[in-house]
Structure 1
Amino acid sequence: MLFIKRYLLPRIVQFLVVVFVGITIVFFVPRLTPVDPVQQVISQITSQGAFMDPAAVDALRQSLTELYGLEGGMFQQYFAFWGRLIKGDFGPSLFQFPTPVMDLIMISLPWTAGLLITTTIISWIIGNILGGLAGYFKNKAWAKTLDNISMVLRPIPYYIFSLLLLILFAYLIPIFPSAGGYSVGRRIGFNWAFISDLLIHSFLPAMSLVILGIAANFMTMKLIVSNIVAEDYVMYAKAGGLKESTIAFKYVIKNGLLPQITGLALSLGQIFGGALITEIVFSYPGLGTLLYGAINSGDYNLIMGVTSLSVIGIAGATLLVDLIYPLFDPRIRYR
């Protein structure tokens, strides 16, 4: 009961508050933008040379407003939105009407999940191991070399690095395709021809995320380890004659991973938001590209669908970390 009262309940309440505030912001922000999806549809129709008298325009405006769920005041729409959200219904996409928003998300989600889960885990493991070893053996030549490489790579923005990879390996040295998730005309199926084609198309987006992710985790872990090596228990381990590899992995890196676990969970929780810049640069068919198209077209429902799932994913990942963290840190179990 003490665990539930002091540890579990406060974190569940925090999760619910974060989700409520986040989704509320997600609802109101698109409606404060100057983009009117109904007016855009009418403008597209009239720009194609179709003549419509004012009465027909008003009737079309009323019909589109009802179809898109934009009738009534903003707060009426807000409460209706929560009613649909509880059922997992974000309504139809405004500019791909009548396709439901959840259908579009389910089409794009596997592409983003496959890309981000793989790259996040790979960069987290490699970056933390290399950063931990470089922090412990900081006077070694290879550690200084890795540190210098990371210091060069870490400040590079994702979109610049993605463009560099795209120009180098898709145009100057055309090894990999420049865009898409698979070749045009390729039949989707669970076979080697499609899987190999998918891997080739995802290689450059994955490398842009993995390389910079390794550099970021390397720098963070190295900084953490530089403080741990000065702790008394590390000094006692060295004085006791333990092997350097044992001290590095069982004492230093193991304890340095504790704060990094939180970063891993938050990174995995961001999967529902997609890798926006990377997906746009490589025209990758994930949630980032879907969200970018929704923003450009003023698709309120699709924007709210993607960003709401992102808010829930990040908040859920934070809650999950809080719940499992006592398994990794005995100090929390003791308290």
Structure 2
Amino acid sequence: MPGYAAYLLSRLGQFVLVVFIGMNISFIVTHSTPIDPVEQTIAAATQYGSTNPEAIALMRQSLRELYGLEGGLGAQYVAFWRRIAVGDFGPSLSAFPTPVAVLVGRAIPWTVGLLVVSTVLTWILGNALGGLAGYYRKNRVLRFAGILAMAFHPIPYYIVAFILLITFGYLWPVLPISGGYMMNMERGFNLGFIMSLLEHSILPILSLVLVGLGGWFMGMRSLVSNVVTEDYVTYAELGGVSRRRILVSYVMRNALVPQVTGLAMSLGAIFNGAIITEQVFGYPGIGTLLVSAVHAGDYSLVLGITSVSIVAVSAAVLMIDLLYPLLDPRVRAR
């Protein structure tokens, strides 16, 4: 497929450009902040007593080497990209001397699991209900489901999260409201830990699903309402094709293509919502780690989290873009 090969190269070029621009913005923002991580570390280390000036100077030099802040802005920029190339963002200020890569590596599986499950559930439920509601427009159950989905859609993530926390943590305390698993439990691939993991993830996932469901529902219902008026759908109905086959093969399949693109575009927004959700429920993911890093002024950790997030979201969008022409035969890869 020479056409698809050209399309692949163009999308890879866009991916590299997006990551490059995002990394540069991250570098500019972090280096424009008035917080100096070196001086902040020195102040924290000397706040309980005087220290020899020579020792402070040596500490300052060592910390600048650790954080890649030696030389002018150009030298720091080169050091920044050198560290990104090898995946080394230096040690964390708030968890010194633990490397940033270790902290991010510990938190990523929690956020990825939370986002994958909530995104897949929201996308499947929203598109399924929206497609059925658009095709069976007189069904009262589907109409009521649409009203509920649209009622939650304009509510902010944190409001839904707090409602769930109060409801299932205090009024009807049947679910855990904080943490990723039960305290003092040994982590491992065993039934007890897996059940605790699933139990602690119910409320964070539910808060993301309830808010995101309405958007997919309304979008799919509108798309299906337009598709059912097409001539090929009318001919299929007149030809005696079963309604189930028409819905699945003729209507839903064609209406689903824009929703696949929307899935990639929504990943970044869902990640922002997960930051708030993780903070509300004390979930040990990237969101909680980022908030802690900002409060502690942890320069390296913030830079590491933002860089990983930029690459992850860009890669997800790239994957969807590469699948798009394969899912829709009407799209010509150029």
Q: Confirm or deny: 8 A CA contact 2:153 2:215 kept in the other structure.
A: yes
* Match of residue 286 from structure 1: 285
1:234 corresponds to: 233
Give the aligned partner of residue 142 of structure 2. Answer: 143
> Who is 1:34 aligned against?
34
Percent identity between the aligned chains? 51
Equivalent position of 1:72 in the other structure: 71
* 1:157 partnered with 2:156: yes
Deviation of residue 129 (structure 1)? 0.6
Match of 2:8 in 1: 8
- Give the aligned partner of residue 166 of structure 1: 165
Report how many residues are paired.
334
3-state SS in 2 of match to 1:91: coil
The one-letter code sitting in structure 2 at the alignment partner of 1:169 is F
- Summarize the Cα distance change of 1:195–1:30 in structure 2 as closer, same or farther, 3 Å threshold: same
Cα distance change, pair 66–18 in 1 and its aligned pair in 2 (3 A): same
8 Å contact from structure 1 (residues 112, 274) kept in 2 = no
Q: In structure 1, what residue type is equivalent to 2:20?
A: F
* Larger deviation, residues 110-119 vs 234-243: 234-243
Match of 2:61 in 1: 62
Matched, 1:263 2:301: no
Give the Cα separation in 2 of the matches to 1:198 and 1:79.
41
Deviation sequence 1:300-322 (CA, Å, 0-9, x none):
22222222122112222222222
Native 8 Å contact 1:225 1:252 kept in 2: yes
CA contact (8 A) 1:108 1:285 kept: yes
Give the aligned residue type for 1:294. A
Q: Which moved more, 1:325-334 or 1:24-33?
A: 325-334
The alignment's C-alpha RMSD in Å is 2.3
Distance 1:206 1:264 in 2: 17
- Residues of 1 paired with 2:190 and 2:316: CA distance? 33
CA distance in 1, matches of 2:124, 2:99: 38
* Secondary structure at the counterpart of residue 70 of structure 1: coil
- Letter of the 1:43 counterpart: A
Give TM-score, length-normalised by structure 1: 0.91
Please state how far the C-alpha of 1:195 moved relative to its aligned partner.
1.4
1:324, distance to aligned residue in structure 2 (A): 2.1
What's the secondary structure of 1:167's corresponding residue? helix
Gaps of 5+ in 2: none
Identify the residue that residue 190 of structure 1 maps to in structure 2: 189
Structure 1 spans left out of the alignment, 5+ residues: none
User: Which range moved further: 318-327 or 250-259?
Assistant: 318-327
Cα offsets for 1:185-209 (capped at 9, x unmatched): 1111221111111111111111111
Q: 1:181 aligns to what?
A: 180
Q: Distance in 1 between matches of 2:85 and 2:59?
A: 30
In the superposition, relative to structure 1, how do residues 272 and 23 fare at CA in structure 2: closer, same or farther (>3 Å)? Answer: farther
Q: CA deviation at 1:248?
A: 1.6
Alpha carbons 1:134, 1:144 under 8 Å: kept: yes
Instruction: For residues 31-56 of structure 1, give each alpha carbon's deviation from its aligned partner in whole angstroms, at most 9, with x where no partner exists.
Output: 21222222322333344x32236555
Q: 1:274 to 1:150 in 2, by over 3 A?
A: closer
Query: Secondary structure of 2:331's partner?
Result: helix
| TM-superposed deviation, 1:243 | 2.4
AA aligned to 1:292 is: V
**Could you tell me how far 1:163 is from its partner in structure 2?**
0.6
Deviation of 1:333 (Å): 4.5
